[in-house]
Structures are given as structure tokens and as C-alpha cells.
Structure 1
Amino acid sequence: MQIFQQTPSREFPRQQLQTDLLVAGGGLAGLCAALAAARDGLQVVLVQDRPVLGGNASSEVRLWANGATSHMGNNNRWAREGGIMGEILEENLYRNKEGNPVMFDLLLLDMARSEPNLTLLLNTALFEVFTEGRKITRVKGFNAINETFYDIRASQFCDATGDGVLGHLAGAEYRVGAEEADEFDEKMAPGANFGHKLGHSIYFYTKKGDAPVTFVPPSFALQNIQDIPRYTRLTSTLNGCDLWWLEWGGRLDTVYDSEEIKWELWKIVWGVWDYIKNSGQFDDAASMSIEWVGAIPGKRESRRFTGDHILSQRDIIEQRDHYDAVAYGGWSIDLHPADGVYSKHDGCRQFHSKGTYTIPYRSLYSRSLDNLFLTGRLISASHVAFGSARVMCTCGLLGEVVGRAAALCRRQNLHARQLAEKERISALQQHLQQTGCYIPRQWLADPANGATIASSSEMRLSTLPPCGEWTPLDERMALLLPLKAGERLPEIFFTLRAASAQSIKVALQGSSRPGNFTPDTPLCEVTLNVAQQDDYPVQFNYQSTHDGYLFIIFERNSQIEMALAGQQLPGIMTVFNSQNARVAKHSRQIADGDYGVDEFDFWVPRRRPHQILPALRFEPPLACYATENLLNGRLRPEQHTNAWAPELSDRAPWVKWQWPAAQTITALTLVFDNDFDNAMETVQMGHAQSITPHCVTHYRLWADDTLLAEVTDNRHSVCEHRLAQPLSARQIKLEILGTPGGVPALYSLNIR
């Protein structure tokens, strides 16, 4: 029993904390920044003003996280984010393939709580920032749940709040709204009619019951559904989280007017639901009810802070490779009209680049303050470029970059800008790749410290036998195959059939830019005459001048069928010239005006478990899984498979790395194939499999005759083994003991 006597006044408790890095904001960007810095040895405080982590990906908003894979709807092959963002996606697939937002919350909280160097402050809002000269020194926060004020000192700070709360209070330079077209030569820069900011959205869930459910709309619900020009697109079968275009607020201050925007969005949502339930236009709506409506909006845009480089449209469309490239994006430049749901414009204007683009480190720190890192959707970018870089998996990837940069700056006694110098930035680029972060058109220097390498076998691709299934060629289809510089493309036999004599054109095309997967360079063409079932040879007599992927394109002829193989392969796939309605309006990118973008065909895969490969035979066999690939420092199928894979008949595959003299080893990082083309959207959509077929689920790792580790339940592409004590060894051996049924593949063993 406690009795508190009356006093003139009382104060809430105050707590002081000291840390190496303070990360403000617990969305995917902030969480990845905090985890990366903590894993690299910093003491980190992560301050989040909500009760859960994840930001727009959390159960409070329920938007699926996506990034460069773009729902597998553009030409960015094998582009899923790596590192910690990839770890989150893979672990969520394993624990939560159904896409339950509450389970995604649990995963993120589990990861944060499991990191010993990370202190997590939930429900805590920053309200005051102190600076000395060009540095932030401390911040104050308040938690209304435990009624506690926090005073936190740190040597480095990272703003991942989305709205840039930390940078704003610290006085850092930032921008709001869209630049004029001539500032960065951006032809996509919007005019006043389209509007200069993206708005917010609120999502909702529906469910169908067995009996009629009455709905009485609130007094503030939208009265006239025709106020929404696109209302005819509404159906009773749409999930409320598909209605991202129920958006509003781009004409207002998206920070200070957030409450007004929220109420207008509630008005819209309840008006839409009233129309679906009570208009009489939807027969199946009688037994439907709303199960959940977001209490806070999903915010797209507010402040963008200024670094030493402002990412622009031409950086993205031209795929400029910056000297300080540390991350990448691949979502379309996706701009929405400021009037949102009330606009007569389409809900979005999307244009893709021909492949992934890189993001420079100079966009990830404030040029106003020496110790303020920027990540997430407030990085240094124009409004147009922000339209692509803002998506959550890209933000998560950028979070890891600044977390590891902060640790590197701490070790080398540098401020953020100094790390951007040309003679220093490679240390960050190499460290990111050592820990599994792929950077397009870059590679690790000597990942295995000069080792020689041997394996139990290596696959030579000779035959993929037919499995008894056939597919009609009722859309343009292409087989993606890698070829090394100087190699000749083998003669390829495809099993085809037709009920009557038919002809079909087969073209060989390449990509004009190294690492792209957009066939825009015609090389050869042949015509096949097909009648009865047979193996039909395709020979182009082509010798490659450079490493790269080739497209063997079958034109459309629905009267011809192709035999399918039962086997899938890492780094080789079949794609189709088709449209993914989530990210494109046509099977070809078409510019309906002078927007400074390319026009090209989309070549997209089918999602698992619906991917297919043709039955085929190579003469001579295609050698694309050489053991030596493990030493080239490339972590993805880019310009080649870059992977080692054993022969299909090899039941006990192994790889050995050997040195003439003993090596001192502190950590080993394996980079396996885990189907980097699979867009592992976090919530809502759901997935067919909890582990991708090629994932190595069971392996042993040996140092000389000592067993370092046996892992029996792996589901990750990046497997880091940090040793409690450095060891000395002349040989490392990897034994692969299990997969979920696919061909195992390995890209690298990175040794530190």
C-alpha cells in the first residue's frame, strides 16, 4: 500500500543515458541502422515514438515493404536487398509467410531485443536537441507511457524519423516540395496542377461472414462518392490495403497538418465503405464487415535533408555509378498527384529505369552538421528521385549503410563527411560487401585472402530433361543465359510441338549496359519450322565480347507448345514480355510525354511456385557454375551467375579454401543463393513457401580438422560466423548437407 500526500507540485522522473550512436526513428531504416552499428561494436540507443517498430511496415499502418524487386514487375533481376534488410525479409518469410502484420511486429522487436549493444526506447518522442558548433551533443525525449524524460548524450546521431525530427530541431538544411525542372534537368518535375508533394494513406481490412452485417456510417463520412473521380474502380473484393490511392494531403503541410489529413482520410475510408456496403451496387457486400482501420496514416513525404550530393532523376534514369556508391534502388520513379483521391490525374505516374541505380554515400549525411547521418525517406534527394528511393526496403538498406558508416567513423575518428573522401570510401564499400550487402557493379577485393580453391564437383549445364508438362507460347518468352567474354554460345535444343506446321522467330539479344537485364541490343535471329514433337536446334554462332546475360527470345505463337523441365537453376530463369499491374500499365514502358525516360519492354518472371524452365540440351555443355567463381568477389548473378553449384548427381558436395601458410581468422561470412529475384513482401500478400528451394538449410564449416559450426535450420543467404577467439588455419571446408529440394549455390566465403 502506498499513500502519496499532497504536495505543491510533482515532476516526472528523468533518466540520463550516454551512448556512441543515437538513432532516431524505428522504421525499417532506423532499425537496420541501429542493428548494423551495434553489430559493429557501437553502443546504440534507438528512440522510437510508436509502441512497435517498422513504421509504415508495422501493424499500425500495414503496408508491405518492397524495394528494387518492384513486385518482380520490372527488369531488375536478382535485385532483392541484401544485408540486414535481406535478413529481415528472409526471416519473415520463414516465420510469417502468411504476411501477418502482428507477426512482423514481433520479428522486428525480437531482433532489436536480441542485440546486446542496443537499447530500445519505445513510445519516446524527441522534443529538444542541443548543438555545439557543427555537432549535435545531446537530445531530450519523453515517454508518455512511463512518464519519463530522457536526456541522451552521444558522439554520433542518425535521423531515421521520416519527418526529420532530429535534423529539423538541430537546424540542419532541408527541402520540402518539388524542385523546378531546370535545377537538376528533371523532366519529371511536376507542375502546380499535378502538385509538389505526395500525400498520406490510411488502409483497412475487411472480412466476409455468414450473415448480413449492418453498417451505419459516422457523421463525418464522405457523403458523395462521386467526389472521388476514380470511384468506379472500387469493388467489394479489393482488400483495403490495395487501395493505396485513397490518398490525400499533398497540398497541405504534411507534418503540421497531419491530424487534419488523418481526419480527411477517415472521412474518405468510411465514405468508401458506406458506398460498398449500402449503395446496392455490390451483391456480396451484405455479409462483409470492416475488421480494422488504420489509426494513423501511412506518410509518404515531408522533409528531405541536404547532403553533399542531391540524388536526381538523371542519376536514376541514366543509372549513374557514383565513386561513393554504397547502396542501390530499383523502384520506379513513382510520383502521386498532390490532390490524391480527389485528383482527376491517375493515382500515380511511374517510370522505371532499365536496371538498378546506385545511391552515393554523400546523400546520407547532413552537410550542415558533422555528426548527423541521414537515412530512410529523408535522405538528400530531389522530389523526383525521392519518388523512387522512398520505398521501405531501399530505406532499410540505406539504414545499414549509415550504421556501418558510423561504426567506421568511430574507429577511425572521422566525421561523416570525411568518410566520403575518395581515398577513404572504399573501406566502407568493402565492409558492406563483406557483410553481405550487394552493391551493383562493384565487387569484393580478394574475399578469401588469396586462397586456392577446390570442390567436390561443379555443374556443367548439358541437359534439362522434360518433366511431362508443356506450355503454349502464347506470349513472348525469353531464356536468360550467362556467357563469359570470349565464349561461344552453345547450340541449344528445345523440345517443341505443334498440331500443324508452324514457324516461329527466335532472337538473341543482349543489354547495352553491363549488369542490366533489359534486352535492347539485337544480336542474331533465326526461324524455326515446327510440326511434330521433336528437339529443334537453335544455333546463333555467337561469340561474346564481354561477360553478360543473353536473352533467347521466342516470339509469340500460341499454336506451338514447349516442353518444360522439372528442374529450376540458380542464376538462370525464364522471363515473359508481360505486365505486372501493380507497377506498370503496359508490357512496355511508354512515355506519354517528354519526361526524360526510356521506352523499353518489360521482361518479368513468374512467381514461385509458377516459375518454369524449358527442357533443353546444350552442345557443348555450358559451364557457368565454376568453383573459381567463389573468388571473384561478386555476390549476385550480375553479368554472370557468379556462383558455384555442384553437379546434380553430387550427393555430398563440398568446397575447400587452402593457403600455403596458416591464416589468422576472426570471422567467416558465407553468401549463399536464396533466390534474390523473389520479392519477399513483408505483409498482406503471403507467399507459397517459407524457404526458397535453393537455400542451403544444413551445412558444416571446418577449420583444418576442427568443426567450427554445424547449422541445421538455416534460411538466410548471409551466414556470418564470428569467432570467440581468433584461430589459425590453413584450410576451411564447407560441407553442404541439405536444401529444401533445389540446387545449392554459393557466391562467396568472406574471411576477416
Structure 2
Amino acid sequence: MIISEATHSRNLKSNQLTTDFAVIGGGLAGVCTAITAARKGVKVVLVQDRPVLGGNSSSEVRLWILGATSHMGNNNRWSREGGVIDEILVENTYKNKEGNALIFDAILLDKILAEPNITLLLNTAVHEVHKSDPEKISSVKAFCSQNSTEYHIHAPLFCDASGDGIVGFLAGAAFRMGAESTEEFGEKFAPSKEYGELLGHSLYFYTKDTGKPVKFTVPNFALQDITTEIPRFRNFNTKEYGCKLWWLEYGGRLDTVHDTEKIKMELWKVVYGAWNYIKNSGNFPEAETMTLEWVGTIPGKRESRRFEGDYMLRQQDIIEQNTHDDAVAFGGWSIDLHPADGVFSEKPGCNQWHSKGIYQIPYRCLYSKNIKNLFLTGRIISATHVAFASTRVMATAAHVGQAVGMAAFIAKENSVNPAEIIHQNLIGRLQDELLKSGQHIPGYALNDQQDLVQTAKLTVSSEYVLDELPSELLKSLEIATAQMLPLNEGKVPQVIFHAEADEATELEVELRISGKSANYTPDVILEKQTLAIQPGRNCLHVDFSAQLTETAYAFIVFHKNPKVKLHLTQQRVTGVISVFNSVNKAVSNFGKQVPTEDIGVDEFEFWCPQRRPEGHNVAFKLNPSLNKFGKENIKSGVYRPVNEPNAWVAAKEDKAPSLQIAWDEVQTIQKIELFFDTDYDHPMESVLMGHPEDVMPFCVRNYTIKDDLDNVVFEKSGNYQTINTIVLDKAISTKHLTVTLEHPSENVPAALFGVRCY
């Protein structure tokens, strides 16, 4: 029993925590920041003001995670973000391909709790910042409502991943809120006052069909006539719910920090009014047996404060794909602005403009320009309002978070503040460490002098040669189709393919490339041919006279002709993909991007893959064949297709594909890392949308590693992850290692992007 006499006042229970790195904000950006730093030995305190991790991706909001892949609706091939966020998305797809938001909560919690260097504080809100001098934070104070405890967290380095920038705001870091003018940065897409300077919040709801009639009595606070009060509520599909209703948005004319509760209340009115219309208007008889299963209790925020770093990313960096010496991450979502009035606006719910490829994000955007020990990540990084419209999405924010987590490791190791990583020429070290962790930085390849594989002789049992993909399917050319092929500079191989028709017609075939070799927008037509198609089966030989000036992907384009059926194949190969000039309205892709005025964006066509089980390659023969899948790719330092496959792929007929890594002298090895193909083209949306497989079809599931005495060093069955890191209990001494793979299936040969040994 506890008996406490009356007193004038009492103090809260207080805990003092001292750590290497304090990360405030447990959304995806904060989670990836914390995990990245912790895995490098940095002690981290992760502070989250909600009961679950994940922010907008959590079960509290239920927004799917997206980034550069953009629902496979743009020309950014193989652009899913790498490293920790890739690991999380692959894990979720394996365990939760149906997209249950509660399971995703558990996956994130599992990842954090697996790291002994992370101290996690949930339901804990920072409300005070202490500084040792005007430019340096010494500690933050936070309160946990669930255990009535106040925490004083002391650290030499802080990261604000809170979304609204609570630490930066309290510390006095320079920030912006609202839109810059066109004149300030020369951004032609800068919005007018009429359009609005802030994006609003959204609130989602889930429905369920109970199989029996369910009535709904609308609460008094709900909007009563949704069709007149909301201009854009013109139609509804009862199968759409959750973040498919992202356009239920409001608040861009208000203070999106301090008016959040007011915005939420208005969104509740909209949601319950919308459901009342669906249930009780009589226009949706299929809704009779449906019930309202869940309504969000906190809104998903898009925009509030943006903090100033030593550089502000701008529209031109995205559209022109500007390069930066301090690049540490990339983005690829469209420049996606919404009208400030949201659902109450007469304007379209979004205004999305894509670039022709992914763009670099420089490190200078990831720390405060005036608070020396404060990192920035998530949607608050240093970017203009227009550039923020692209960088704000969660996969990009998480990718940036990994860069910050690694920078914290570099800063701790060298006893420097964030900006000094640049000033003391440590940026190359940061980039190398990120590349080693699986982070992709466009234009960069890892050159790891400590990797023993770099000095080894490689021998393989076979190498895949792309000479033929057999005919197994027949499909009408209802949509223009292009086969992407990784070609060397010089003469283009002869392409032989088969087409069928019921009557005589013509087929237009083109050879295209991208204006930038690492892009996948086929905006340069090198050659056109018109082929006569006769009734029946046609064997067609296409000889292009064009010469390629560099190694790059080329597009063999078959223009739309519904009278023609093209022969396709079920064979899939790492780094070989077909794309289609199709429409994806979810990301404002109508087959072609055509700006109606000069807003500083490009006009170009969209050529995108189809989701499996569709998206088959074209059946063809090549003369001469392509030898692009050799053993030398193991050492390339690039672990995904870029301007070529960058993978060793074994011959399909090789029953036990093997790679031998040999040295002249005995080597001592304790750690082995392997990089597999988990299809970086598949976006892996985390919730709501399901996926056709739980394991990507290109991923090697089973493999064995043996030493020079034929001892099994390591054996794996059932792999589904991109990176396999093997830390041996005891170091081995050997003159060679042999990695034996099993083909993922009869239609997919085994592939390996890289092996590293230490």
C-alpha cells in the first residue's frame, strides 16, 4: 500500500538518458534512421509520440508506402529504394502480402526491438529543448502519457524526424512554411495564392461487407449533403476505401501544425457524411450489407514546416536530374501539389508532374544550417515547397533517413557535427558506407578496398547468354509494347520475332533509347520501320542500321495495332523487362505527359511495366546474342540494373549454378554478404493493395557456401531478402569459396548482383 500525505505540489517521475544519438519521430524516416545508426554501433534513443511506429504508414493512418516506383506508373525502372526500407518492404511483402496494417505495425516493432543499441520510447512527446550555446542542442525533455514519466535525453547529436519539426522549431532552427515565389528560385511550377501554399491532411476509413443488411444512422456532426458541400464528390466505388480516398483532404488554408485538431474534426465530418451518402442515398444498393469498420483518429499530414540546410532542393534538381557531389539518396515521386482547399476545391485533387528519371538528394539538405548538431529527415528536409512535393513521400523519406543514420555514425566516429562531414572531406566515406549497406545512390558505385572479392579470381559454372526467349503466349497489341534490352555500344543486334493476324495489315516498329543513359524514358527515336503483316503467322526480321554510342538500355517498340497478336514468353530474366505505353490514373499517367503551359516540366511518353502475372517479355531471337550477364558483374559495386543488368546470371540449363571466388593465398574470412534480386521494379505497397507473390520470382531461395576443403560454411533455404549478411561464429581460413545457387524456378535463371567477403 502507498499512502501519500497532502502536499503543495509534486514532481513527475524523471529519467535521465544519455546516448550517442537522439532520434525524435518514429515514422518510417525515424525508424530507418535509428536502425541504420544502431547497426553501426551507435547508441540511439528513438522517441515516438504515438503508441505505434510508422507514422502515416502505421495502422493509425494506413497510408501505403511509396517512393520512386510510383505504383509502377512512371519511367523509373528498378527504382525501389534500397537498404533498410527495402528490407522492411520485402519483409512485409513476405509476411503480409495482403496488406494488413496491424501486421505492418508488428513488423516495424520487430525491426526496432531486434536492435540492442536502440532504446525505444513510445507515447512520448518532446516538449522542451535545452541548448549549451545558441547553435547547439544539449538535451530534450519529453513526457510519456502512459507511464507519467518525464525523460531528459542528453546527446551530442540529434535528429528531427517528427514531421512537424518539433525539435528544430523549439531549438530555433531556420524554417519555412508555405510556398516560395517563382522569382526566388526560378521555379516555374510555384503555386499561386489562389491554388494555395500548403497541402492539407487526409483521413481514411475502411469498410467491410458483413453478408447481411447493416443500417447506418449518421451522427449529427457529419456533413448532411455531401454532394453539394463537396464539389469533387461526383462518384464513388464502394470497393474503394482507405488511402484510395486520399482526395478526402482538408486544411491547406489553415495552420497545418497548430490547427490539426480543427482539421481532423472537419475531416471526420466529411468521412461520416460520405459514408451516410453511400449507405443511405439509395445510389449504392451494393452497400446494403457493408459496415464502417474503421475511421482514422489522427489525420495523415502532408506538409507543415520545412527546415533550411546548407542547400535547398528545388524544382530544377528534380526535372533536370542535377548531380551533386554530396548525393546520398534519391527521389522519383512526381512533383505532386494539391489545392489548399482540398476536397472543398473545384480543382482536381492533385497536380502531378513527373521527371524523366530519378534524381539525387544531396547531404547538405539533411541538417540545419544554424543548429550545428541537428540532423533533418523525413518531410522536413531542406527543400522548396515545389521540390518537397516530390520528396515528401514515405519511401523517399525513409531512404533519406538511412543517409542521416549513417551520417550520425560518421559524425560520432570522427567527433564532428553534421556539416563538418562535408567540410572535412568525409562525404566520400559516408557515400561508401551507404553503398555498402545497400543504399543506391544514382551515378555512384562502391569501390570497397577491404572487400576480398575485389582481388579474387572468379570462375563460374555458366553464364546466361540472351539469344532467345521462346514463344509461349499470344497477346493482341491492344497497347503499344516495348521490349527493353541491355545493349552494348555499336551495332544493334538483329531482332527476330513472331506476330499473327487474321488479315493483312502493317506493324510499326521503332528503335528507341533514352536521352540520358541511366534513364528509361524512350524519348529518342533512332530508327523506324514499317513491316507488312500477312494473314497467319509471320516470322519477322528487323535489322536496325543505327549504332549506339554508349552502353544503355534500348527499346524495341511495337506500336499499337489490335489486328496484330504478338508472341510472348513466360521466361523472366534479371535486368530484362517489357514496358507498355499504358495509362495509370493513380499517378496522373495518361500515356503521355503534356504540360499545358510553361511550368518547367518535360513532355514525354510513359512506358511502364505491368504487374505480374501480366507483363510478359516479348518472345524473340537476337543475332548476335547478348553477353551481359557475366561473372565480372559480381565486382561492379552496383547492386541493381542501371544502364546494364549488373548481375551474374547462370545459364538456365545449368543444373547447379556455382561461383568460385579464389585467391592465390589463404584468406581469413568472418563475414560474407550476398546481394540477390528482389525485383526493384515492384513497388511493394505496404497496406491495402495486395501483391501477386510473397517472394519475388527472381530471388534465389536456396544456396550453399563451401570452403576449399568442401566444408559447408553456410547453407540457406527459403531466402526471400535482398541482402544476406552472414557473420560466422568463427573465422575460416581458405583459398577459395564456392557459392552454389538453385534456380528460383524453371522460368527464371539464378542471378546474383554481388558478393563481398571480409
TM-score normalised over the length of structure 2: 0.97
- Matched with 2:412 is 410
Aligned pair in 2 of structure 1 residues 180, 519: CA closer, same or farther (>3 Å)?
A: same
Q: CA deviation at 1:53?
A: 0.4
Which moved further from structure 2: 457-466 or 525-534?
A: 525-534
Contact 1:19/1:153 (CA < 8 Å) preserved in 2? yes
Distance 2:707 2:41 in 1: 25
Which moved further from structure 2: 258-267 or 696-705?
A: 696-705
Amino acid at match of 1:675: D
- Matched with 2:93 is 93
Aligned match for 1:522, one of 518, 522, 525: 525
- Matched with 2:463 is 458
1:241 matches 2:257? no
Aligned pair in 2 of structure 1 residues 699, 536: CA closer, same or farther (>3 Å)?
A: same
Contact 2:100/2:687 (CA < 8 Å) preserved in 1? yes
Distance 1:715 1:536 in 2: 40
Amino acid at match of 2:634: L
Aligned pair in 2 of structure 1 residues 576, 585: CA closer, same or farther (>3 Å)?
A: closer
- Matched with 2:582 is 578
Q: Secondary structure of the equivalent of 1:286?
A: helix
Contact 2:742/2:750 (CA < 8 Å) preserved in 1? no
Contact 1:188/1:595 (CA < 8 Å) preserved in 2? yes
Aligned positions of 1:522-671 closer than 5 A: 522-531=525-534, 532-671=536-675
Q: Secondary structure of the equivalent of 1:400?
A: helix
- Matched with 2:447 is 445
CA deviation profile, 1:108-164 (whole Å, cap 9, x unmatched): 001111111111111111111111122211111111101111111112111110111
Q: CA deviation at 1:667?
A: 3.2
- Matched with 1:74 is 74
- Matched with 2:696 is 692
1:743 matches 2:745? no
Amino acid at match of 1:499: D
- Matched with 1:202 is 203
CA deviation profile, 1:716-745 (whole Å, cap 9, x unmatched): 111222345655543233211352553221
CA deviation profile, 1:512-549 (whole Å, cap 9, x unmatched): 11200001111112222122213211111333211100
- Matched with 1:730 is 735
Q: CA deviation at 1:168?
A: 1.0
Q: Secondary structure of the equivalent of 1:290?
A: strand
Aligned positions of 1:371-450 closer than 5 A: 371-421=373-423, 423-445=425-447, 448-450=453-455
Q: Secondary structure of the equivalent of 1:242?
A: helix
When the two chains are superposed, the root-mean-square deviation of aligned CA atoms in Å is 1.5
Contact 1:692/1:740 (CA < 8 Å) preserved in 2? no
CA deviation profile, 1:412-446 (whole Å, cap 9, x unmatched): 22211011248321111111111111111211125
Q: Secondary structure of the equivalent of 1:618?
A: strand
Q: CA deviation at 1:579?
A: 1.1
Amino acid at match of 1:694: F
Amino acid at match of 1:404: M
1:148 matches 2:146? no
- Matched with 2:123 is 123
Amino acid at match of 1:720: T
Q: CA deviation at 1:495?
A: 1.4
- Matched with 2:310 is 308
Distance 2:574 2:487 in 1: 15
Amino acid at match of 1:6: E
Q: CA deviation at 1:11?
A: 3.1
- Matched with 2:498 is 495
Identify unmatched segments of 5+ residues in structure 2: none
CA deviation profile, 1:158-199 (whole Å, cap 9, x unmatched): 111011111111111111111011111111111110000000
- Matched with 2:175 is 174
Aligned positions of 1:196-235 closer than 5 A: 196-225=197-226, 226-235=228-237
CA deviation profile, 1:327-357 (whole Å, cap 9, x unmatched): 0011000000111000111100000000000
Aligned positions of 1:351-366 closer than 5 A: 351-366=353-368
Q: CA deviation at 1:665?
A: 4.3
Amino acid at match of 1:343: S
Contact 2:454/2:635 (CA < 8 Å) preserved in 1? no
Contact 2:589/2:606 (CA < 8 Å) preserved in 1? no
- Matched with 1:263 is 265
Contact 2:73/2:589 (CA < 8 Å) preserved in 1? no
Distance 1:363 1:485 in 2: 37
Q: CA deviation at 1:477?
A: 0.7
Distance 2:745 2:137 in 1: 50
Q: CA deviation at 1:326?
A: 0.7
Aligned match for 1:294, one of 274, 283, 296: 296
Distance 2:734 2:178 in 1: 57
Distance 2:114 2:752 in 1: 28
Which moved further from structure 2: 165-174 or 208-217?
A: 208-217
- Matched with 1:480 is 484
Q: Secondary structure of the equivalent of 1:519?
A: coil
Aligned pair in 2 of structure 1 residues 412, 240: CA closer, same or farther (>3 Å)?
A: closer
Q: CA deviation at 1:239?
A: 1.6
Q: CA deviation at 1:653?
A: 0.8
Amino acid at match of 1:482: P
Distance 1:451 1:276 in 2: 66
Q: CA deviation at 1:44?
A: 0.7
Distance 2:415 2:615 in 1: 50
CA deviation profile, 1:574-612 (whole Å, cap 9, x unmatched): 111111111025110111222100000000110012121
Contact 1:34/1:118 (CA < 8 Å) preserved in 2? yes
TM-score normalised over the length of structure 1: 0.97
Distance 2:469 2:396 in 1: 36
Distance 2:424 2:532 in 1: 57
Q: Secondary structure of the equivalent of 1:85?
A: helix
Distance 1:263 1:702 in 2: 62
Identify unmatched segments of 5+ residues in structure 1: none
Amino acid at match of 2:195: F
- Matched with 2:187 is 186
- Matched with 1:4 is 3
Which moved further from structure 2: 502-511 or 720-729?
A: 720-729
CA deviation profile, 1:690-713 (whole Å, cap 9, x unmatched): 001110111123454454321212
1:701 matches 2:705? yes
Size of the aligned set, in residue pairs, is 749
Amino acid at match of 1:388: S
Distance 1:74 1:301 in 2: 23
Q: CA deviation at 1:408?
A: 1.1
Q: Secondary structure of the equivalent of 2:715?
A: strand
Q: CA deviation at 1:570?
A: 1.1
Amino acid at match of 1:495: H
